[in-house]
Amino acid sequence: MKPLLYTFRRCPYAMRARLAIAASGVDVEQHEVVLRDKPAALLAASPKGTVPVLCLPDGRVIEQSLDIMLWALAINDPLCWLADRDNALALIVDNDGGFKQDLDRYKYAERFPEHPASHYRQRGERFLARLEAMLAQQPYLGGAHAGLADAALFPFVRQFAHVDHAWFYASPYPRLIAWLDDWLASSLFATVMHKAQA
């Protein structure tokens, strides 16, 4: 019996879990969830009802995307994504906290009418500028090679870029744009974006 991953193709949390699983080469069955009709088995395993959720053959359930990434890479890490683990985890905390909050308000600005979308975008730019500065010093957030931080942050930067594609590609973050484009063109990304069986 294989581990079973409940996923949703466009969810950035699920995306980064799939990236780590694909990079690790661990054999995992994937089930694409229809968010408006969540399977009973998913809700029984994880009442929070959000993806990703990984159900292991021994009955354990891993409910957080970062924990799923670390689980897969602990089994096999051929690309050495865990080489800069401590620094990566600190950056991921900042991404999943303040930047994700700004991203949500920017993407769904109509739900937060106290400020225009540009206000939330400017708040998010503080994190983008930080990533740009890191990439001025090294090719990847993880250093000389892509690592855990790159894979964990890429889906969220992608989502930020998609809110206003023209603005993002005219923004003063050339290294971040090149980094994003490199991930978007990667065979690994193409692999994890194949639609899983529903």
* Domain extents in the chain: 4-79+187-192, 81-184
- Cα 107 from Cα 26, distance rounded (Å): 33
Cis preceding linkage at 139, omega within 30? no
* CATH architecture assigned to 4-79+187-192: 3-Layer(aba) Sandwich (3.40)
The DSSP letter of residue 173 is -
Question: 20 near 72, Cβ under 8 Å?
Answer: yes
The DSSP letter of residue 110 is G
What was the pLDDT predicted at 197? 52
What was the pLDDT predicted at 36? 85
Same fold, 4-79+187-192 and 81-184: no
Name every residue whose Cβ is closer than 8 Å to that of residue 99 and which is 6 or more positions away in sequence.
124, 127, 156
Give the fold, CATH level 3, of 81-184. Glutathione S-transferase Yfyf (Class Pi); Chain A, domain 2 (1.20.1050)
Name every residue whose Cβ is closer than 8 Å to that of residue 25 and which is 6 or more positions away in sequence.
76, 78
Residues pairing with 140 in the sheet: 143
Instruction: pLDDT tens for the chain, 198 residues: list them.
Output: 899 999 999 999 999 999 999 999 999 999 999 888 899 999 999 999 899 999 999 999 999 999 999 999 999 999 999 999 999 999 999 999 999 999 999 999 999 999 999 999 999 999 999 999 999 999 999 999 999 999 999 999 999 999 999 999 999 999 999 999 999 999 999 999 986 555
Distance from chain centroid for Cα 178: 18
pTM of the predicted model, to two decimals? 0.95
